[in-house]
Amino acid sequence: MSMTLAEKILAAHSGRERVEPGELLEVSVDFCLGNDITAPIAIQAFREAGVEKVFDPERIALVPDHFVPNKDIASAMQVKMLRDFAREQGIAHYFEVGRMGIEHALLPEQGLVLPGDVVIGADSHTCTYGALGAFATGVGSTDLAAAMILGTTWFKVPASIKFVYHGKRKPWVGGKDLILHTIGQIGVDGARYMAMEFAGPVVEELPMSHRMTMSNMAIEAGAKVGLIAPDQVTRDYVTGRARRAFVFHQSDPDARYEAVYDWDVSGLDPMVALPHLPENVKPVTELPQIPIDQVVIGSCTNGRLDDLREAAAVLKGRKVSNHVRCIVIPATQRIYRQAMDEGLLEIFLEAEAAVSTPTCGPCLGGHMGILAQGERAVATTNRNFVGRMGHPESEVYLSSPAVAAASAVLGRIAHPDEVR
């Protein structure tokens, strides 16, 4: 019997030949992770369970990335809980400041999450790893605690929706624009507890960084996972990184989907999500001149090297507008070094942007770029809810790195071609 990519991975991890949407399964977990906000709750639940040891210290990562470098005493205490627990349990994959990165960029970079895996993380954007062909999803901190004890978790098998993208992308149109377009079409609950499967010639041509951007924002459509079938691009990415064996799964040609969307995206322009929902999208070419106060280029959505290259291509030889703050955040230390070696950081500094050590910081309104009342930001992040980046009367507009960089130069939301 035929199965989708999501169903095949769950079947393989539950000892079943076949699974169907709606079934409840206990599945083995290949990797699990927590950060400095969510892991302390999981650690407390772990201790309350009276268990002495985690199921496998090599299959757990603790990544302090949200409020680091520590912004206050409370955040310092949160990170200390992770540090102490990692030392006590012999968890190898604890990433200290100076070695850490934004978790959903760091773990694929380190070869810790791989094709065919089941991965859970106490962070909603764990779905990023679906770009590798892994069933990866966010869970609550108590579910993380249980997985750290048992090495298993449970899922209801999700139904799948397939999204097929055809055509030739316009310049400056990439993964961020494709996923914003998709969310705009189906809404923020259009894939609730479903597996979004991204396919078609346009996706097949995307580099891994753009694929991760798409899978990262599947949760913004309510999805359980956002999957891309592994191919040669995937193999090229994981070869040399992988720390253990991996498996490529593919959907069967006659697999059943809840729905199939087939779009020619040849006419798609760079997209922007207006406040206060990721579904509130418009082409940047249709927007009036909207003045802004801040630009953030980074996050688990768009802080990879390709993203920084894209922003630098727009900013090179230009200056950030006098009335705009532009904050650039490489997603990992390795990306920071690569950007430095390529001269990208020099371009940002010459443009009078601020370059930060890796941190989630402003994305969640944590630190390193909080908005005041009435301020507007263009951000390459993933959410623009009320108060997401600071004051509840501030506004966040989501875009690609190219649009964000052009907006920084012109002091208003702008198409990259306006500054080329």
Question: Does residue 101 lie within any of the structural domains?
Answer: yes
Alpha carbon separation from 125 to 137, 217, 370 (Å, rounded): 7, 7, 21
Mean pLDDT of the residues in the chain: 96
Q: Within 13 Å and on the Cβ side, how many CA atoms surround 221?
A: 28
Contact 21, 158 (CB under 8 A): yes
Asked whether residue 241 falls in the same domain as residue 297, the answer is no
pLDDT in tens, 337-380: 999 999 999 999 999 999 999 999 898 888 899 999 999 999 99
pLDDT at 1 over 90: no
Average pLDDT for 37-53: 95
Burial of 201 (0-12, 13-18, 19+ CB in 10 A): exposed
At residue 420, the pLDDT reads 75
Asked whether residue 214 falls in the same domain as residue 152, the answer is yes
pLDDT in tens, 56-99: 999 999 999 999 999 999 999 999 999 999 999 999 999 999 99
At residue 133, the pLDDT reads 98
Asked whether residue 83 falls in the same domain as residue 183, the answer is yes
Give the residue from 77, 1, 9, 2 showing the smallest Cα distance to 248.
9
Asked whether residue 297 falls in the same domain as residue 193, the answer is no
For the chain, what is the domain count? 2
Asked whether residue 248 falls in the same domain as residue 307, the answer is no
The two tokens of residue 56 are 């496998």
Buried b (16+ CB within 10 A) or exposed e, 117-134: bbbbbbbbbbbbbbbbbb
Write down the pTM of the prediction. Answer: 0.94
Domain that holds residue 51: 5-262
pLDDT at 23 over 90: yes
Find the length of the chain.
420
Rounded distance, CA 115 to CA 100, Å? 22
The CATH number linked to 185 is: 3.30.499.10
Amino acid at 375: E
Burial of 74 (0-12, 13-18, 19+ CB in 10 A): exposed
Percent of all residues in the chain with a pLDDT value above 70, rounded to a whole number = 100
Q: Could you write out the DSSP letters of every residue in 105-151? A: HHHHHTT-S-TT-EEEESSGGGGGGGGGT-EEEE--HHHHHHHHHHS
pLDDT at 329 over 90: yes
| Confidence at 257, pLDDT banded by 50, 70, 90 | very high
pLDDT in tens, 219-246: 999 999 999 999 999 999 999 999 899 9
Percent of all residues in the chain with a pLDDT value above 90, rounded to a whole number = 96
| Confidence at 282, pLDDT banded by 50, 70, 90 | very high
Asked whether residue 144 falls in the same domain as residue 29, the answer is yes
Helix (H) or strand (E) holding 404, with range, is helix 401-410
